[in-house]
Structure 1
Amino acid sequence: MRSDRQPFKYMLSLIEKLKQVKDFRKDQGKRHPLWIVLVVIILGTMLGYLSYRELGEFAKNNRHRLSQEFNIIPERVPSYSTIRRVMMGVKWQSLLKVFNEWALQEYGQRDDINWLYYI
């Protein structure tokens, strides 16, 4: 595996957890599985993109890398509107639960990041 792809190796277990979050959207018109939109939101937020528009720009500006890593057609990365609808409609308790489960599973045994226990 190339070293520049190494960070995405750890995303696989997070993706499996994110797939457990119930999708509140109607099937009609849905272009992206919920987990893809959530991954974009999480990655963008971790990199400092905090508003809906900033997250949309993050997705657009990184569409080739996102499409390469997550098998998305580059022209079809989640838009600002999709990100906004998901952030407004997702059950945050459910998302936090699976994220915290993932974080403890992946990193909970490390003493240097025990702050995860307090999230």
Structure 2
Amino acid sequence: MALADFFAQITDPRRRQGQRYPLQGLLWLIFLAAASGYVSYRKISAFGRSNAAFFSDYFALAHGLP
């Protein structure tokens, strides 16, 4: 099973009100950051900011990065 398929099967536990960002996009951001050695919240945030254009375009994040 591909990782994208696995992420797609995960049920989003957040309330509808809290689903401003797609769960798949968040999971990919966290996975790619961790795979690149960014393992703290601050470092994951820095990784996301440094790759904001990619994540915003690829996952159609209308509200920018979380």
Percentage identity across aligned positions?
A: 34
- Cα deviation for residue 53 of structure 1 reads 1.2
| Root-mean-square deviation over aligned CA pairs | 1.7
- Aligned position for 1:24: 13
Using the alignment, how far apart are the partners of 2:53 and 2:44 within structure 1?
A: 15
Report the TM-score when normalising by structure 2. 0.80
Aligned counterparts of 2:59 and 2:43: Cα–Cα separation in 1: 20
Paired residues of 2:33 and 2:39 also in contact (CA < 8 A):
yes
Aligned-partner residue type, residue 41 of structure 1: I
Question: Does the aligned pair in 1 maintain the 2:29–2:48 contact within 8 Å?
Answer: yes
Q: Which residue of 2 aligns with 1:39?
A: 28
Q: Distance in 2 between matches of 1:76 and 1:52?
A: 17
Aligned to 1:65: 54
Q: What is the SS of the residue equivalent to 1:76? A: coil
User: What's the counterpart of residue 76 of structure 1?
Assistant: 64
How big is the shift at 1:67? 2.0
Unpaired stretches in structure 2, ≥5 consecutive residues: none
Q: Which has the higher helix share?
A: 1
Letter in 2 for 1:57: A
Gaps spanning 5+ residues in structure 1: where? 1-12, 79-119
Distance in 1 (CA, whole Å) between partners of 2:5 and 2:40 is: 26
Q: TM-score, normalised by structure 1?
A: 0.48
Distance 2:57 2:17 in 1: 26
Q: Residues of 1 paired with 2:18 and 2:58: CA distance?
A: 24
User: Which of the two has higher C-alpha Rg?
Assistant: 1
- Post-superposition CA distance 1:43-90 (Å, at most 9, x none): 0000110001111111111101222333224x6112xxxxxxxxxxxx
